[in-house]
Amino acid sequence: MDDDLTDLRDACTRSLTGHGPVRARELLATIPADTAVDRYGAGGVVAELEAEVAALLGQEAAVHLPSGTMAQQAVLRVHAERTGRAAVLFHPECHLDRHEGRALERLHGLVGRPVGDRHRLLALEDLRAVAEPPAALVVELPQRDLGGQLPAWDDLVAQVAWARERGAAVHLDGARLWEAAAGYGRSPAEVAALFDTTYVSFYKGVGALPGCALAGPADVVAQVREWRGRMGGTLFGLWPGAASALTLLRRRVPLMPAYLQRARAVADAVRDLPGVTVVPDPPQTPMLHLLLRTSPEAFAAASRALAREGLWTWERAMTTGDPGVQRVELSVGDATCALSLEEVRAAVGALSA
């Protein structure tokens, strides 16, 4: 982000997406002054967070880690060693494959195998076409790069059963599990109960400082805790992120159904605008993608114009296969809910004009 755009963002008092622009003073305020510090991840607020996440997900244990990349690589290595296999199956848009520089292969000697079509959800028929015995199946809920889509619950149960019948572990990439649970109308524990292990993020939907947790059986979590140390994640103090996560989990997880309701209201408000397509329509979780028939240059000019009026939208849009169509991701949070639907509609209309 260039300096001019940074200044514009910092001057904005309203935001279209999420909980608003990330600002240090607001994040620091989520760390209570009486926070009990840990020492190398042991004790204090870290232990409190781990116990609360385990209870929230209905699991035996949980471990706090500084990043989801570390958490998922560690747990998939554990699953691979336990099964004696190397192949890890996942959707082609999986974070493991798209954003981690082939770390599964280069650092852990595992084999990542994308399954299915990147433009739609993973289906049971895609898995049935795999003959290779997998170490683990990774399921992302919701599928972020498809606009926050969820498989039907019965389809999800069938995919988990397919993996278990083949002796594979089933791992949930639940970076946005809080949103997925709202979409299914189930508790996070009900969703996590399908899986052997579950990863959840604290900085995405709940908006805390960076960090995550990995939950599951106590023996698996204990191994992941050891891998956290081997991978450099057991910092001298993990308490700032843990305290922020604990504060905002308690505040925002109960609000996920309201965020979902707002996402659907936003879709209703913008779907008839010229050049606007809602994906998926209606939204299945408290997030959605918008396809805007405009150019990158026109989008950038419109977003800057809105920022000068005090409304932050997006720094830039994502490109698509069509140069005349831009994609943006709208995660619904406190900032989105603070705007009227008329303001949302006007902003989206300006960006797509």
Task: Return the CATH number at 112.
Answer: 3.40.640.10
Share above pLDDT 70 across residues of the chain, in percent, rounded to a whole number: 99
Number of residues that this document lists for the chain: 353
Per mean pLDDT, which range of 3-12, 119-128, 298-307 is the poorest?
3-12
Judgement on whether residues 271 and 345 belong to the same structural domain of the protein:
yes
- Per-residue pLDDT, 1: 60
Judgement on whether residues 127 and 276 belong to the same structural domain of the protein:
no
* Predicted confidence (pLDDT) per residue in 138-165, tens digit: 999 999 999 999 999 999 999 999 999 9
pTM of the model: 0.96
Judgement on whether residues 247 and 318 belong to the same structural domain of the protein:
no
Residue 43 to residue 23: CA distance in whole angstroms: 28
In the predicted model, is pLDDT for residue 2 greater than 90? Answer: no
Judgement on whether residues 300 and 323 belong to the same structural domain of the protein:
yes
> In the structure encoding, which two tokens stand for residue 18, read together?
């999420």
In the predicted model, is pLDDT for residue 269 greater than 80? Answer: yes
- Per-residue pLDDT, 49: 98
Judgement on whether residues 243 and 327 belong to the same structural domain of the protein:
no
Handedness of CA 55, 65, 76, 285 (dihedral sign): positive
In the predicted model, is pLDDT for residue 311 greater than 70? Answer: yes
Residue 222 to residue 225: CA distance in whole angstroms: 5
Residue 280 to residue 227: CA distance in whole angstroms: 38
Question: Which residues span the domain enclosing 264?
Answer: 3-20+255-352
β-bridge pairing 311-312 and 318-319: unpaired
- Per-residue pLDDT, 3: 64
C-alpha dist (Å) from residue 246 to 249, 253, 256: 5, 11, 16
Judgement on whether residues 31 and 170 belong to the same structural domain of the protein:
yes
> In the structure encoding, which two tokens stand for residue 149, read together?
């889509």
- Domain final residue, candidates 234, 253, 272: 253
β-bridge pairing 87-90 and 136-140: parallel
**How many angstroms separate the first and last alpha carbons of the chain?**
23
- Into how many domains does the chain fold? 2
Judgement on whether residues 35 and 7 belong to the same structural domain of the protein:
no
Asked if residue 114 lies in contact with residue 145, where contact means CB atoms within 8 angstroms, the answer is: no
DSSP states of 17-57 as a string?
SBT-S--HHHHHTTS-TTPPP-BTTBSHHHHHHHHHHHHHH
Judgement on whether residues 221 and 116 belong to the same structural domain of the protein:
yes
**CATH code, 346:** 3.90.1150.10
Judgement on whether residues 74 and 189 belong to the same structural domain of the protein:
yes
* Predicted confidence (pLDDT) per residue in 49-104, tens digit: 999 999 999 999 999 999 999 999 999 999 999 999 999 999 999 999 999 999 99
The residue-averaged pLDDT of 214-226 equals 98
Judgement on whether residues 168 and 260 belong to the same structural domain of the protein:
no
The residue-averaged pLDDT of 269-281 equals 98
Beta bridge partners of 288: 330
Judgement on whether residues 160 and 279 belong to the same structural domain of the protein:
no
The residue-averaged pLDDT of 292-303 equals 97
- Domain final residue, candidates 217, 236, 253: 253
3-state secondary structure of 132: coil
C-alpha dist (Å) from residue 87 to 71, 126, 136, 337: 18, 15, 7, 42
Judgement on whether residues 138 and 219 belong to the same structural domain of the protein:
yes
